[in-house]
Structure 1
Amino acid sequence: MNNNLSGYLRQDGRKGIRNIIVVAYLVECAHHVSRRIVNLSNQTDVHLIGFPGCYPNEYAFHMMTAICTHPNVGGALLVSLGCESMNRDKLLSLIQQSGRPAELLIIQENGGTLATTSAGVEAVERLRQQVASVTRVPMAINELIIGTICGGSDGTSGISANPAVGRCFDFLVEEGAACIFEETGELIGCETIMADRAITPALGQEIEACVAKAEHYYRVMGFGSFAPGNADGGLTTLEEKSMGAYSKSGSSPISGLIKPGDIPTAGGLYLLDVVPDGEPRFGFPNISDNAEIVELIACGCHLTLFTTGRGSVVGSAVSPVIKVCANPETWRKLSGDMDINAGRILEGEASLDEVGHEIYNKVIDVACGSPSVSEALGHQEFILTYKSFEPIGPGCLPLRVSG
């Protein structure tokens, strides 16, 4: 394991484990030009992100701000069509105020596709040169924020990969890192045991309320977290899936409940509520695993632990994704896309603690600069859609009680 942990120091005191440039389209009409800029730049440290919507959305603006000022981001190029609702000038100003170099291109004012693409490639090179001088300083484990999700779950997920990640979370929390698990829609039925782990009664009540909100949302909309692919993979009930998802949280006390874009205030274990607030409206709480990863990144996650039983090949822009494979048969078929073989637990080749330590070591290695498999393969998936959230209440991030 590489123990030389260091980070790129940002103006707000946070440290990044990567130093990338984001090219951000501010409406779907600017997506193609932005992608051309990224492709022609042909640099692994230039990532495409964006929001497709034209109608104003506070959540989307908050998320774009959080991503563009993420500690792994060194600078940003914003690409606007020119008539979308995204407040491009405010977003540009907030990025620059964070100490990052940032530029804005407006396609309607810059001469169209070819002219804007050419200007964008030149802008990216300027930004890369500017961020190359960012100071790299020693970084402690308690400065890391780590997220986890599960995708492509099957009957093995809840008995190998998920609990192994839970053990890794316990190790990281013990060293003062912040760890985030989600999503409340996949934890229906686990609200009481999560509330019992909350560090204050008020937090326990907030956890129960957010799971009740998720259950109401799913019931009204007529869908749930149990997908056909889960059943094909051997999962039998919603209870089985919920308990499997819950096992990713480990056994540490739950320190807070946050919503997308909220940054943990200290080390500890946090639950991320991703189900929109208010009355249910058409749409899904998250349309894919990538949407969940993006929301974890917006909460400051330096990297994400992704468990899968049936297999997945996704990664992410901005923050590396570490794949933990639950099923030994899936590992044998898709080992080229996986980082950790938790299926060894099922075949009697390793214990939960041993795989938990292996995941922990991989977290440190990737934080030190070693690429995860999806990162090395060039995966930079990114999805951001409409949602609506209210600010978290005072009980969600309770003050720590000494002793």
Structure 2
Amino acid sequence: MIRAWLRQDGRKGIRNVVAVAYLVECAHHVARRIVDKADDPDVQLIGFPGCFPNAYAAKVMEAIATHPNVGGLVIVSLGCESFNRERLRAVARASGRPAELLVIQETGGTAATIAAGAEAVARVRAAIAGVPRGPMGVEELIVGTICGGSDGTSGITANPAVGRAFDRLVADGAACLFEETGELVGCEAIMADRARTPELAVAIEQCVQKAERYYAIMGFGSFAPGNAEGGLTTQEEKSMGAYSKSGASTIDGILKPGDIPPTGGLYLLDVVPDGEPRFGFPNISDNAEIVELIACGAHLTLFTTGRGSVVGSAISPVIKICANPDTGRRLAADMDINAGRILEGAATLEQVGTEIYDKVLAIAAGERSISEQLGHQEFILTYKAFDPIGPDCLPTKTGLGGAHERAA
């Protein structure tokens, strides 16, 4: 049974994290030392490094600060960056979360702010210690998925096993998010065939075409040398493997980073910036994608890997699913599930899909994922720009046959 933390804004969290947020790289060290002094796995570091945030960065930071897994916030500002610190604190407080603000230039520098920050964290921890808890159904979960370090086994073991788990979660009413539109080039017609409406089908095709154009103009693709070394041969092969994580359910909508799914169902997260390409590689690391899933409310993320990846994330637990049996043996201490057993005939896709589904419920109920146990709390946020999603991209309650609505 999932016993969630009940937030004042009506959302339910599976963790009760104090987020310490720096607003510019100049405040990163001080914020990190505040987290270090707390020495608590539920006091975690997030932040934005740039001096001039744009609308995307502000939207994502506000979404993370009010994420259902976040109980309270301590903001660390240098003082002269352009991030609207007062707005971030106001947004957090308006959601019912305690939020404190430290400005290094006003507090007295590094040592004084670290000391003040430790006291602020203690106050926030005390304030959220009594947050009430209550039951949470599977239908209230938001679950994301990404793949990283893919190889020739990813598309035949871990990724389709996640697809099986997604199908079951969607059937139960959960919201499931898959992304990496740059790695879905060539799959747009297949996805369009699964769209709930003709208008959404057109939007899905346009979404992938945008990604293909972006990558072509920037002069790179999502097919990396590590993928080739791991046995992948073409972009199409990689795309089909990535696509298999989405399962076989109807696709109900498209989201952009920071958009919360309005109902249960299956959603494509568009992570490639809109407009003319000007930001470089759309996601400079897997953790940038995880942050965007979290900004859409993901309570946890299913991370598949063939070559091997050891990362986790701040705020929302990461479940690591290894595709390659050899990698699974080498990196067994970093993996939650060894889907490579499928390749060796020791398990079926359905069995591993059920194992993933059960692990989602166990982690949501409080079990710590392997990356959590190892202390992984990676977080990265850079620059992008997005246009608002259009009405064709979101389902309605009646259009989903009565699926539950979600609080934004």
Paired position in structure 2 for 1:387: 384
Deviation at 1:401, TM superposition (A): 2.8
1:108 and 2:105 aligned: yes
Any conservation in 2 of the 1:203–1:398 contact (CA below 8 Å)? no
DSSP 3-state at the match of 1:295: helix
Paired position in structure 1 for 2:212: 215
Matching of residues 301-380 of structure 1 within 5 Å: 301-380=298-377
Matching residue's letter, 1:225: S
RMSD between aligned alpha carbons? 0.7
Any conservation in 2 of the 1:19–1:74 contact (CA below 8 Å)? yes
Any conservation in 2 of the 1:21–1:77 contact (CA below 8 Å)? yes
Deviation at 1:13, TM superposition (A): 1.2
Paired position in structure 2 for 1:13: 10
Matching residue's letter, 1:112: G
Any conservation in 2 of the 1:157–1:327 contact (CA below 8 Å)? yes
Any conservation in 1 of the 2:258–2:292 contact (CA below 8 Å)? yes
Taking the aligned partners of 1:211 and 1:58, their CA distance within structure 2 comes to: 23
Matching of residues 3-402 of structure 1 within 5 Å: 4-399=1-396, 400-401=398-399
Taking the aligned partners of 2:11 and 2:176, their CA distance within structure 1 comes to: 16
Paired position in structure 1 for 2:404: none
Q: Structure 1: 5+ residue runs without aligned partners?
A: none
Identity of aligned residues (%): 73
Taking the aligned partners of 1:285 and 1:381, their CA distance within structure 2 comes to: 18
Paired position in structure 1 for 2:406: none
Any conservation in 1 of the 2:18–2:74 contact (CA below 8 Å)? yes
Deviation at 1:319, TM superposition (A): 0.3
Taking the aligned partners of 2:158 and 2:164, their CA distance within structure 1 comes to: 10
Taking the aligned partners of 2:263 and 2:373, their CA distance within structure 1 comes to: 31
Taking the aligned partners of 2:114 and 2:223, their CA distance within structure 1 comes to: 43
Any conservation in 1 of the 2:263–2:395 contact (CA below 8 Å)? no
Any conservation in 2 of the 1:316–1:381 contact (CA below 8 Å)? yes
Deviation at 1:100, TM superposition (A): 0.2
Taking the aligned partners of 1:398 and 1:367, their CA distance within structure 2 comes to: 26
Deviation at 1:402, TM superposition (A): 6.3
Taking the aligned partners of 2:280 and 2:189, their CA distance within structure 1 comes to: 27
DSSP 3-state at the match of 2:83: coil
DSSP 3-state at the match of 2:367: coil
Matching residue's letter, 1:115: A
**4+ aligned runs moved over 3 Å, structure 1:** none
Taking the aligned partners of 1:398 and 1:365, their CA distance within structure 2 comes to: 29
Deviation string, structure 1 residues 125-159 (Cα, Å, up to 9, x no partner)? 11001100000001100000000000000000000
Deviation string, structure 1 residues 348-391 (Cα, Å, up to 9, x no partner)? 01110000000000000000000000001000000000110010
Any conservation in 2 of the 1:321–1:374 contact (CA below 8 Å)? yes
Taking the aligned partners of 2:375 and 2:264, their CA distance within structure 1 comes to: 30
Deviation at 1:56, TM superposition (A): 3.2
Deviation at 1:124, TM superposition (A): 0.3
Any conservation in 2 of the 1:191–1:208 contact (CA below 8 Å)? yes
Using structure 1 for the length normalisation, give the TM-score. 0.98
Deviation string, structure 1 residues 202-227 (Cα, Å, up to 9, x no partner)? 00000000100000000000011100
Deviation at 1:183, TM superposition (A): 1.1
Taking the aligned partners of 1:110 and 1:401, their CA distance within structure 2 comes to: 53
Deviation at 1:398, TM superposition (A): 3.0
DSSP 3-state at the match of 1:213: helix
Any conservation in 1 of the 2:321–2:338 contact (CA below 8 Å)? yes
Q: Structure 2: 5+ residue runs without aligned partners?
A: 402-408
Deviation string, structure 1 residues 101-125 (Cα, Å, up to 9, x no partner)? 0000000000000000000001001
Any conservation in 1 of the 2:24–2:48 contact (CA below 8 Å)? yes
Taking the aligned partners of 1:38 and 1:99, their CA distance within structure 2 comes to: 22
Any conservation in 1 of the 2:14–2:69 contact (CA below 8 Å)? yes
Taking the aligned partners of 2:3 and 2:42, their CA distance within structure 1 comes to: 18
Any conservation in 2 of the 1:169–1:249 contact (CA below 8 Å)? yes
Deviation string, structure 1 residues 4-45 (Cα, Å, up to 9, x no partner)? 112101122110000010000000000000000000111111
Matching residue's letter, 2:128: V
Any conservation in 2 of the 1:221–1:282 contact (CA below 8 Å)? no
Deviation at 1:55, TM superposition (A): 1.2
Matching residue's letter, 2:328: W
Taking the aligned partners of 1:395 and 1:43, their CA distance within structure 2 comes to: 44
Aligned residues: 400
DSSP 3-state at the match of 1:395: helix
Q: Structure 1 residues 4-13 or 239-248, which shifts more? A: 4-13
